[in-house]
Structure 1
Amino acid sequence: MIETLRALQKTLQLKKLAQFQRRVSFGDLITDRWENAREYGFGEGTSCYDSALVMGEVRVGCHTWIGPGTVLDGTGGLSIGDHCSISTGVQIYSHDTVQRSLTLGKAPIEYSPTKIGSGVYIGPNSVISRGVTIGDGAVVGAMSFVNHDVPAGSKVWGCPARIQR
């Protein structure tokens, strides 16, 4: 059976390489990104790679792209609007265990809803902290750490992310 799966993977990888000039994980080879999104209950036209980790209550609007290797933590509630691009490796959190760790387990895990507006672009490998709201039409540059709200139409980047003028 393993040899059959390996042969299937090789065939599918060659087809993907010829069609899109990319190589993806086995899960992304055998699943459909739009079907994945439908199974999560995401909006029409949204796609979500199989390699994305989706947990808790995550709501996503229409025509949003969720790239490979993303983390969408909805344990404290996460909403993402329409026509967003959530790039490869983005991590969006709605909980953290900072105080729990610092108090040697005495403090509880902290949860806060996180909200991403519509028409938002989040660059590769960015991290969005719990409780952050990113307004409509905002841009988050690659490899940014967003730990404060981002106003609509703003461009932010950096670690921590700052509004760019």
Structure 2
Amino acid sequence: FNRVSQQLRQDLRRKGYQVIDIRADSYRGDRALTAYAKKNNQAYELKYTYPALRLISSSKKAWPDNWDNKSQNNNNRYKENKHKDNYQNGQRYKKGDVEDTIKRESRYPAIKRRAVNKVRAMGYRVEDIDLEEKNKRGIFEIEAKRGSQKYEILLSYPNLDVIKVRKD
């Protein structure tokens, strides 16, 4: 590992990078190296195969505060930021609620479509669908019609189990 990481460090220096850290990693079950480096004051995370050193991925990263100290004290790498709590106006706060985090998921639109299709397959016409939070879980609240009667149907997120069907 030391010989290969030194080779990678030299290659990156030749390409104009200032290497901050190189770590052993895994990529799709195979061994890999992840190099953290900067070039033109922009942070990069570069992933290479091990031991062949072929580039797997390269991505720009936001500049972390603790990278400036990383090369001097590797043992205290993350101690500064590890146990900080989030406080606002003297009170502890949560970063976003369940509803917002679910809506930001990449699979959310597909699951929402599946919920609509499931209710239609049950014989209802969907009029409105909302995501609500109950007991720190996501629940689809669906307003639907069957004939002239209105219903409210609750489905769990993401597995779409029917929780309740209620006439309005």
Fold conserved between structures, TM > 0.5? no
| TM-score normalized with structure 2 length | 0.25
Structure with more helix by fraction: 2
TM-score, structure 1 length as denominator?
0.26
Computing the radius of gyration from Cα coordinates, the structure with the larger value is: 2
